[in-house]
Amino acid sequence: MIVTDVIFAIPIGILYTMVANKLADLLTDEEDYADKVQEKLIILIIAGVASLALAIMIFGKKQKLHNRMVRFGLYFGTVLLWFAGTVSNWNILSDDVKVMILSMLLISLVIYSYK
């Protein structure tokens, strides 16, 4: 049932977001603040793209490991990663990073719309 899948997908998405944030913190531990924020956000965007790829290619409708709950959780985690990361750090980011983030988001949305 779709309601049950969505209810269980939300914690999956939140846990995925927490793991990705902690991984990004560990990978950017020795940077100064401005560089750390930008590198962390790039890592989170890449983690979001990887999450979308997993959701579509491994847990998709026609795949061997079809699991709607995990797929919805990864979608939710991706949206949460992208939204929280960009909104909270937008004023700190350089113009190059902003263009890269917006380009990746646009490409992801176009790919998703053709799915």
The answer to whether residue 94 scores a pLDDT higher than 90 is no
Q: What is the pLDDT of residues 8-41, one digit of tens each?
A: 999 999 999 999 999 998 999 888 887 888 888 8
37 φ, ψ to 5°?
Answer: -65, -45
16: nearest Cα among 89, 71, 90, 67:
71
HSE-CB of 42 using CA atoms within 13 angstroms: 15
The pLDDT of residue 82 is 83
Residue 89 confidence (pLDDT) above 90: no
* pTM (2 d.p.): 0.77
> For the purposes of burial, counting CB atoms within 10 Å of the CB of 36, is it exposed (0-12), middle (13-18) or buried (19 or more)?
middle
Q: DSSP character for 32?
A: -
Share the mean pLDDT of the chain.
Answer: 86
In percent, how much of the chain has pLDDT > 70?
99
pLDDT attached to residue 84: 84
> Would you say 77 and 19 are in contact if contact means Cβ atoms under 8 Å apart?
no
The pLDDT-based confidence of 58 (bands split at 50, 70, 90) is confident
pLDDT at 63: 76
Write the CB contacts of 69 (distance below 8 Å, at least 6 apart in sequence).
4, 5, 8, 9, 12
Whether the pLDDT of residue 115 is over 80: the answer is: no
Whether residue 96 is predicted with pLDDT greater than 90 in this model: the reply is: no
